A and B are shown apart, each in its own frame.
Chain A
Amino acid sequence: EIVLTQSPGTLSLSPGESATLSCRASQSVSGTHLAWYQQRPGQAPRLLIYGASSRATGIPDRFGGSGTGTDFTLAISRLEPEDFALYYCQHYDNSLYTFGQGTKLEIK
């Protein structure tokens, strides 16, 4: 089973700054099935990025995904107040979805 490890656990930034979130897989994976989600307090997760780098419908271009193999990144530019939330990476392989443990993006 592939394990996804996200870092950092918590990222403290100010509005207007840029954020870089990391997701590392325990073995090389296909980026085709690598996704990122945002979860605000009290809400369900929302798909941001699929296929490692494609934005989901309605997601602003401030959000960008990249990476291959074992290392994937979610970059968020010009942070807005609503961006401060939890972020999860997720991979699908061999009939199993796995999620990273999450990164909390908090206001500094």
Chain B
Amino acid sequence: QVQLQESGPGLVKPSQTLSLTCTVSGASLTSGGYYWSWIRQHPEKGLIWIGDIYHTGNTDFNPSLKSRISISIDTSKNHFSLTLRSVTAADTAVYYCARDTASRNGLDVWGQGTTVTVSS
């Protein structure tokens, strides 16, 4: 059974950099066949896809966030990470990591989410 677990700071100051990690258990990131995504949800709002990464390191990003984000993968630790630079209060959200198949059939495994607040 594949499980995803987000981790990172719950509080980040404005203008700083947010770093989150998603640890994968029950599957190996080296095996391929899946895309690993980050999604966020603002309080009482809908879902926004941030970007994803393949085991090769290839990434795709939401154009609205592309200038401030990077996603990396560490197959030795079986985790992938999100970096979001120059955060503002508008980046306050619940951040989820999730998995999709190479066929893009839908995000079938999700982490429980981690709440990030941007505040001084």
Contact = CB atoms under 8 A, between A and B. Distances in A.
Interface size class of B (residues with CB under 8 A): 20 to 34
Interface in A31-45: 32-33, 35, 37, 43-45
A98 B49 contact: yes
B89 interface: no
15 contacts: A33-B105, A35-B105, A44-B110, A44-B112, A46-B110, A47-B107, A49-B106, A88-B46, A90-B107, A92-B100, A92-B104, A95-B60, A97-B37, A99-B46, A99-B49
- Interface of B, helix, strand, loop or mixed by DSSP: strand
Contact of A51 (B37, B96, B105, B113): B105
Given A50-B106, A56-B106, A97-B37, A44 B49 contact: no
Contacts of A45: 47, 96, 107, 110
A92 B105 CA distance: 9
Contacts of B43: none
Interface size class of A (residues with CB under 8 A): 20 to 34
Nearest to B62: A96
B110 A90 contact: no
B49 A96 contact: yes
Given A92-B104, A99-B48, A44 B62 contact: no
